[in-house]
Amino acid sequence: MESKAVSSNQEQTHPDLQAVVEKHLNTRFLRPIPPWVSNLAETLVREHGEAPWILDSGCGTGLSSVQLAKAHPNHWVLGIDQSAHRLGKVAQAQPANLRLVRADAQDLWRALSQINVKVDQHYLLYPNPWPKAHHLMRRWHGHPVWPALLALKGKLELRTNWLVYAEEFEQALLLSGCKPVPKTILENAEVLKNPITLFEKKYAENQHVLTRLQVQL
Ligand SMILES: C[S@@+](CC[C@H](N)C(=O)[O-])C[C@H]1O[C@@H](n2cnc3c(N)ncnc32)[C@H](O)[C@@H]1O
C-alpha cells in the first residue's frame, strides 16, 4: 500500500514545546473522566491486578498487542484504541493474556493513574503525528494528559515515522526529568521481516524513516 512520508509546515521541534510541556507539568488536566472509564479501570485492576502489565496504547487492529502477548506470556497485555472500526478488524485468535478495550487513552490513562496503576512496559506505536504546527497540543508530549502518561511508569517505547515527533518527545521527556536512551533509526529491511504493526509494515514498505525512542520511567 502506498504511503507518503509525513509532510508538515513544521520542520523542527516546535518553538512552544518547552512552555507547553512545563504548563502541563504544573497544572491539572480538568477534563472530567467519564464514570464508565473509571469503572473500567477498576475492573481491569480487579481482574488482572496480579501480573505485570504491558500497555499498547493506540493499538489499532491489535497486531502488536497479539505479538506482545505471545512474546510475554507472564505479562498481561492491554491494547487500547478509540476506534471500534480498527478494533473490529482484529484478525488473529487472541491469547488469554490479552485484553483489547475501546477507550480514549487520555481518559483511561488518567483513570488508571488515579488508582495508582504502574505498568511494566508501555508501547506507543506510530501515534497520529498531528503534523500541522498548530496541532502541537494533540501530540502526546504536547497534550495535557502528558503527566498521567508519565505517572504510569514502566519502560516506554515510542515508534514514529516523523523524526520531529521523536525529537519533541525526547525533549519533553528531558523537560520532565526523564532520561531517554538515544533514539535509533530502524532498518526498513529488518522491520519488514517481522513488522510489529500494520502501519509499521506500510511505512517500511514505503521507505519512511522509522525512529524508536525508549525510556525507563
Ligand atoms: C496511526 S494509527 C497506528 C495504529 C497501530 N499502532 C499501528 O501502528 O498500526 C493511530 C491509532 O491511534 C488511535 N488513537 C488515536 N488517538 C487515540 C486516543 N486518544 N485514544 C485511543 N486511541 C487513539 C487511532 O484510533 C489509531 O488506531
- Note the pLDDT tens digit of each residue in 148-205: 999 999 999 999 999 999 999 999 999 999 999 999 999 999 999 999 999 999 999 9
Would the CB of 174 count as within 6 Å of ligand 1?
no
Contacts of residue 215, defined as CB under 8 A and 6 or more positions apart, other chains included, come to 155, 156, 173, 178, 179, 180, 181
Would the CB of 58 count as within 6 Å of ligand 1?
yes
Nine-digit cell at 76?
A: 498481561
Would the CB of 59 count as within 6 Å of ligand 1?
yes
Q: Are 178 and 133 in contact (CB under 8 A)?
A: no
Task: Name the CATH superfamily housing domain 17-216.
Answer: Vaccinia Virus protein VP39 (3.40.50.150)
Would the CB of 140 count as within 6 Å of ligand 1?
no
User: pTM for the full model?
Assistant: 0.97
* Average pLDDT for 68-72: 96
In the reported structure, the alpha carbon of residue 35 is separated from the centroid of ligand 1 by a whole-number distance in angstroms of: 22
